[in-house]
Amino acid sequence: MAEEDFRVEVKRESVAALNGAMQRFQRDLGASNREALHTGKRHVLRSLAAGTRTAKKYRDFRDTGETSRSGLNKKFIVRTKYATPKRKGKALRRSWQGPWRDQVIWAKNVRELKRRRAVVIAMRGLASESWNALGSRGRVRVKGFDQASRFKRIMKKAARRWVIYRQQMSGDHPYVQLSNHLRYITEALINGNYAVDEAIRKAANAMTGQIDREIGKLTLEAGF
C-alpha cells in the first residue's frame, strides 16, 4: 500500500464513544481531564499496537542443493536487503532502502543458517512497539522480541527516531498528537485504512471496562 494512497477512515460514532468513555472516567471516578486524556491515549495506543502485524522471525531462504568442495557446507539463497558485513554506518543504512536481492550464504544446515544476521529479522516487532514508544516517552516493551539485547537497544532507538508525540494538557483545548512515520507502518496495519477507527472503538470499550472494574472495587471497599 503506497503511503500517498493511505487514508485513515474514522467513524464519528467511534470518536463519540471514546469521548463518552473519557467523560465518564472523570464523572464516575472523580478523575481530572488530564488523567482521562492520558488513560484514553494509552488505550488507543495499546489497540493500535495489537492491530499491527509482527514480522516472521526469518527472511525467506531456499536450499539450492549445492554443497561446498569440502562437503561441509550447503549453499543457501536468502532474499534480503541486508548489506554485506563490510558496509557500515550511513552506507549500511542506505543499502536497506535498495531493492530486494538474492544473497548467497554458506552454512552447515538450516539451524546454523538461522543464526546469521542476514537471515534473522532483528527488528521484528518494531512496527507494533513503535506505538508504545509514542505514549511512553521512548520506552519500548519489545513484546515478543527474542533476539540479542543489542538488537533491543537498536530497536528502541529506531522507535524514537520514527515517532512523534506531542501533548498539551493545560488550557481550554487540551490535546494529544500521535504521529508514526515508520516507512512501512501503513503496510503493517492489519485492518488497513480502518485500523485507527477500530483502535479507537476498542479503546472506548476497554476504557469502559476499566471504569466498571474500578467502580466494582470501590463498591467492595465501601462494603455495599
Domain spans of the chain, in order of start: 3-54+124-218, 61-113
Give the list of residues 6+ apart from residue 142 with CB closer than 8 angstroms, or none.
125, 129, 152, 155, 156
163-168 and 175-180 beta bridge pairing: antiparallel
Rounded to an integer, the average pLDDT of 150-162 is 68
Rounded to an integer, the average pLDDT of 131-137 is 60
Share of the chain above pLDDT 90, in %: 33
Locate cell 486524556: which residue?
37
Closest CA to 111 of 66, 65, 58, 179: 58
pLDDT of residue 164: 76
Asked whether the predicted pLDDT for residue 155 surpasses 60, the reply is yes
Cell numbers that stand for 95 in this block? 543499502
d(CA 180, CA 140): 14
pLDDT band at 51 (very low <50, low <70, confident <90, very high): very high
* CA distances (Å), origin 41, targets 56, 83, 160, 177, 200: 28, 38, 18, 10, 9
pLDDT of residue 38: 87
Question: What is the per-residue pLDDT across 162-182, written as a single tens digit (0 to 9) for each?
Answer: 777 777 766 667 777 778 888
Cell numbers that stand for 105 in this block? 550464504
Question: What is the per-residue pLDDT across 64-122, written as a single tens digit (0 to 9) for each?
Answer: 999 998 889 999 999 887 655 555 555 555 555 567 788 899 999 999 999 888 888 87
Cell numbers that stand for 220 in this block? 467492595
Cell numbers that stand for 160 in this block? 524514537
